[in-house]
Structure 1
Amino acid sequence: MITIDCRKTICLLLGVTSCFAAIAQVPKPTLVVGIVVDQMRAEQLYRYQSKFSQDGFKRLMSNGFNYKNAQYNYTPTVTSAGHASIYTGTTPSGHGIVSNSWYDRTSNNYVQSVEDTEYSTVGSRQAESVGASPKNMLTTTISDQIKLSSQLRSKVISISLKDRAAVLSGGHLADGVYWQDTYASSGGFITSSYYNAELPQWVEDFNAEGRADAYLDSKWTPLFDIESYTESYADDNTYEIVLGEERAVFPYDFKVLREKYRPRNLEYLLLGLSPFGNTLVTEFALEALERENLGKNGETDVLSISYSATDKVGHLFGPDSVELADVYVRLDREIAALLSELDRHLGKEGYVVFLTSDHGAIPVASYLENVGIPTDVARISQYKSVLQQGLNKALGQGDWLQHFSDNQVYLNRPLIREKGLALADVQRTASDILVELDGIREALTATNLRVQNYTNHDSRHLAQNGYYQKRSGDVVVIFESGVIQDDDSDLHVSLVKGTVHGSGYAYDTHVPLLIMGAGLNSGQSVRRVSPTDIASTIAMILNIQPPSGNRGEPLYELFK
């Protein structure tokens, strides 16, 4: 009697030599959890390890795959561009979110990345509040593709303190996108009429519990003895922005501080300047997990969580502060609580989770100067004056500059046409003037960014990946390492407090990238990768189409 192994027969028909390779598949998770820790540098996974638990960051590092050399491949490295790039799998040159906001030549005004006047906020106590949408993001996200692959049956929920982080992670088809109402007497989570006409009842119930108020009526003290925070400079120093008190030192009594901010209706901003902002986001995410029944709806769902307090605290106190160290130690516990609840809700085999950041940050410039690292302040107002004078000398009198802010120079194109000049020539003239100024490394013309092909991961390549013709300037300025930007012409580097980001240097581009899920390999790699590789990786795990503008490559070590 002849017996036939059906599996072998199928393999032969498919032309596959290894039967088990053809049959075995990475288990399809029923929930994709994306975690973005705003302003987290890769080194912070290691700097505070002695204070981390075993079940938070360490669990992701040991049970998941750790890409130790994840670098952003574009500039500027800012929140909106970062979240859009993670979820679309492409750079600003592809998805169009070139910054948190950008100058619009036509309206002669700034465009906020997610602000949309066609919609209004839902759930805010403000009488009139402009809504938000992803309309400026020109490609789909991995969240959108998961929705499309299931004929819209999948659920996508996105949560952050920041509207831009929540919207750009959630994508065009999200079922629920929520952020904190910080500019009114609420502190609860709100959304936009682009997504929902009213808040779901569970969100109303969560807001009604008054958790934001409870946290703002408490004190922030370090989780460990303050003398043990040797990863940071001393708590009492001159590098930090004072938060409504005489000195920026522990403890912070938010019940007292909120009274100082209340007259300007800004008291709920304080939540994001403390670890309590992260706690509130975790609690809301766990509520969404349960009330939306995520991962149990018959399709693969998405839960996107962006922790913003790390960015807000980092800007205020700097990446070497005790305050930020304590935020990360406490965030480790938030990650542990989240993973534990995911285990209970779906089992360890039921979900895949990734953790990364939208950008890093430079140490406080005054601190760098004190320890002997080259640093300086790029005074944009002075650059404007010098550039205008130089163009007048080269081209004749005229208002040659339409706008100059951050690292973007917009020339007066109507005047250039009126004078019969070639735009490329005027761009080159402006570039030649700027590159002679202190603090400027390069000044790249839009013409060259369009026609040249920069491929060596250098500053030009990063600027090209961040350039989108309809929104970027005529000249893109690249500053020297250690140089920060400010419009105050009198600001000396020794007076700088707090930190910034946006450059193409490692302190801004090098971020964590951890992925953990059933059937995926664990381990680590020092291969250079980018957060733009996450979207295509998730697409391969789920066997769906990557986002429409995707340029990233799947992280193949996970599948070997």
Structure 2
Amino acid sequence: MVTLSGCATVGQRTAVSRPPKLVVAIAVDQFSADLFDEYQPRFTGGLARLARRGTLFHNGYQAHAATETCPGHSTILTGDHPAHTGIVANNFYDPAGKRWPAAVYCAEDEDRGTAANYVVSPRHLKVPVLGERMKRLWPESRSVAIAGKDRAAVMMGGHTPDIRWYYRDGRFQTDLDAKPDDDVMAANAKLKALVASHAPPLLVPADCLARAKGVATAPKGPTVGAGRFEHDPSEQLFRASPALDEAVLNLAGDEIDRDQLGRHASPDLLAISLSATDYVGHAFGTEGQEMCIQLHRLDAILGAFLDGLDRRGIDYALVLTADHGGTDIPERLSDGKRYGFPSGAIGEAIKAQLGLKANPLVGGGDVYLDPALDPATRDRVVALALAAYRADPNVAAVFTRAELAAYPIPTGDPVNWRLEDRARASFDAKVSGDLTVLLKRHVVPIPKPAVGYVATHGSAWDNDRRVPILFYRPRARAAERRDDIMTVDIMPTLAAWLGLPVEGAIDGHCVAGAAGAVCPGR
């Protein structure tokens, strides 16, 4: 066996033995494994390269039920399910807090802001991310997070990043005590011009032309499916286009150079979240021409980003996954249905029946009871609510706080998890609701679609849970695997790449053989 540049030769490929100098973790928001499998034969850029030269897991799982942006991102670099990260939803309620009955955002410090003008913070994230673990062993290690959403940057950057930038209100901002450098100022100037302009339509790849079929969303919603992103100037519609992802990756490249990531004595971490696929999915659904254009463009700009890493000569390793999947518009699904969470109507009926002063139920999937209820009335409300939810033909299951608290955290193959297992992986007794309501598959909780919001995710079903996971190291052996792993397995696998001991109990496990990963004790 001949050793070459720290790598052991294996046929025409090699097994990488030395730790990388830079770990890059990329999350693509609302990128289901269904979408990846559908488009994989047509990818020619970065996604094709990662799939063909890396270790591709078709069956990765955001195993929990609350398949939203904040919970999903919280699993990727912590190794923990939302039940342990404390991030159970994008928004939750605190019956004992001063904000009640208004919601609390997952990535805010509610003591320093308002619901309308929140202060971004990692306050609610209970566990460390990979970057924090790296700093404990290597204090000089740099941790950088760049994202299209603040909550994504917070959940991947954690409590002690050196740099954190996210797109918000038309520009890149940070919650850290930092002033925009020249690269960020230039990026913001370009973003301002792009948002203000009437951009020409993007070129439509040939295989997207067949998807150019307009579908009207009911009742009286927008027609989607045949768009080319020809929109009037609008920050909202700018986000739902490939331009947002390109801006994020360009800024990430600039920060690699400015902060000299991958060129220090200690290894560095760059966490990136690309949000445009999620905005496109919400605005147009997952199976129209818009998503086709978005995924082709994502493939191309990821290819350019990887080429840039190679040109810099950095010894890097990379993982790409998603925070959740997505559901297409019901109008294109044979079994799809538009529907609203029934909490409002059920609560109003209970209010009238018991002669209460206010609706006793707040929330949708996580349902919270009015804290002013006395114990006896509270029990009656729970009994009536359970009966009403369980009688609703669109509800798959409903669990009480006590029921979920009694379940153990699930382990084993996530494919075999029952609904209560999936709900338990999302349940934190301190922040979750008094009731957890799961809708049936393809029941979309958007009764009245609007521009920018015709489809969604967040269900306990595999269209939202199953995501691709791709591990990549240049020169490492390629593999395509069908075994089931979870996003909580990513952090311990990256730690194995780095030779970083993982202290304390976590939900995930190192995945042996992922782009050369050698797991401790194996």
- TM-score, scaled relative to structure 1: 0.80
* C-alpha distance in 1 between matches for 2:141 and 2:149: 24
- Residue 377 of structure 1 is matched in structure 2 by 338
| 1:447-495 alpha-carbon deviations (Å, 9 max, x no partner) | 0101134744121101011011111111111111121214x5xx5x9x9
* C-alpha distance in 1 between matches for 2:154 and 2:452: 32
| 1:212-256 alpha-carbon deviations (Å, 9 max, x no partner) | 414753534343456x326x633433249999x9987444445xx
> Which of structure 1's runs of 4+ aligned residues deviate more than 6 A?
240-243, 245-248
Contact 1:318 1:364 in 2 (8 A): yes
Q: Secondary structure at the match of 2:164?
A: strand
| 1:412-438 alpha-carbon deviations (Å, 9 max, x no partner) | 344233x4x785x76455323310112
1:513 aligns with 2:472: no
Which residues of 2 match residues 226-265 of structure 1 at below 5 A? 228-229=207-208, 233-239=211-217, 249-254=226-231, 257-258=232-233
Q: CA deviation at 1:534?
A: 0.2
1:40 aligns with 2:31: yes
* C-alpha distance in 2 between matches for 1:496 and 1:292: 36
Q: 2:385 aligns with which of 387, 408, 430?
A: 430
The verdict on how the C-alpha distance between 1:415 and 1:117 changes in structure 2, with shifts beyond 3 A counting, is closer
Q: CA deviation at 1:326?
A: 0.5
* C-alpha distance in 2 between matches for 1:355 and 1:241: 37
RMSD in angstroms over aligned alpha carbons? 3.0
- Residue 12 of structure 2 is matched in structure 1 by none
The verdict on how the C-alpha distance between 1:547 and 1:315 changes in structure 2, with shifts beyond 3 A counting, is farther
Q: 1:544 aligns with which of 500, 507, 514?
A: 500
Contact 2:205 2:293 in 1 (8 A): no
Percentage of matched positions with identical amino acids = 25
Q: Secondary structure at the match of 1:69?
A: strand
* C-alpha distance in 2 between matches for 1:234 and 1:25: 44
- Residue 21 of structure 2 is matched in structure 1 by 30
Q: 2:174 aligns with which of 177, 191, 198?
A: 191
* C-alpha distance in 2 between matches for 1:50 and 1:203: 36
The verdict on how the C-alpha distance between 1:41 and 1:315 changes in structure 2, with shifts beyond 3 A counting, is same
| 1:37-71 alpha-carbon deviations (Å, 9 max, x no partner) | 11001132332345422x41111011110111112
* C-alpha distance in 2 between matches for 1:428 and 1:142: 43
1:110 aligns with 2:110: no
Counterpart residue identity of residue 112, structure 1: Y
Contact 1:391 1:429 in 2 (8 A): no
* C-alpha distance in 2 between matches for 1:118 and 1:405: 21
Q: Secondary structure at the match of 1:33?
A: strand
Contact 2:212 2:225 in 1 (8 A): no
Contact 2:108 2:120 in 1 (8 A): yes
Contact 1:157 1:175 in 2 (8 A): yes
Q: CA deviation at 1:441?
A: 1.4
Contact 2:224 2:284 in 1 (8 A): no
Q: 1:217 aligns with which of 194, 197, 201?
A: 197
Gap runs ≥5 in structure 1: 1-23, 121-127, 259-266
| 1:248-268 alpha-carbon deviations (Å, 9 max, x no partner) | 7444445xx11xxxxxxxx33
The verdict on how the C-alpha distance between 1:291 and 1:218 changes in structure 2, with shifts beyond 3 A counting, is farther
* C-alpha distance in 2 between matches for 1:391 and 1:435: 18
Q: Secondary structure at the match of 1:537?
A: helix
- Residue 274 of structure 2 is matched in structure 1 by 307
Counterpart residue identity of residue 184, structure 2: V
| 1:90-110 alpha-carbon deviations (Å, 9 max, x no partner) | 111101111111111123121
State which drifts further: 356-365 or 540-549.
540-549
Q: 1:292 aligns with which of 239, 256, 259?
A: 259
* C-alpha distance in 2 between matches for 1:523 and 1:84: 27
Q: 1:461 aligns with which of 401, 412, 421?
A: 421
Q: CA deviation at 1:546?
A: 3.0
Contact 2:34 2:463 in 1 (8 A): no
Q: 1:483 aligns with which of 439, 443, 452?
A: 443
Q: CA deviation at 1:556?
A: 1.4
Q: CA deviation at 1:361?
A: 0.7
Counterpart residue identity of residue 69, structure 2: T
Gap runs ≥5 in structure 2: 1-14, 411-415
| 1:92-131 alpha-carbon deviations (Å, 9 max, x no partner) | 11011111111111231211111235669xxxxxxx9643
Counterpart residue identity of residue 261, structure 2: L
- Residue 513 of structure 2 is matched in structure 1 by 557
* C-alpha distance in 1 between matches for 2:440 and 2:230: 39
Question: Which has more radius of gyration?
Answer: 1
Q: How many residues align?
A: 492
1:330 aligns with 2:333: no
Contact 1:215 1:276 in 2 (8 A): no
Counterpart residue identity of residue 57, structure 2: Y
Q: Secondary structure at the match of 2:48?
A: helix
- TM-score, scaled relative to structure 2: 0.86
* C-alpha distance in 2 between matches for 1:439 and 1:155: 48
Q: Secondary structure at the match of 2:75?
A: helix
The verdict on how the C-alpha distance between 1:47 and 1:95 changes in structure 2, with shifts beyond 3 A counting, is same
* C-alpha distance in 2 between matches for 1:431 and 1:26: 55
Q: CA deviation at 1:411?
A: 1.9
* C-alpha distance in 2 between matches for 1:236 and 1:440: 30
Q: Secondary structure at the match of 1:116?
A: coil
Q: 1:449 aligns with which of 404, 408, 420?
A: 404
Q: Secondary structure at the match of 1:379?
A: coil
* C-alpha distance in 1 between matches for 2:205 and 2:59: 32
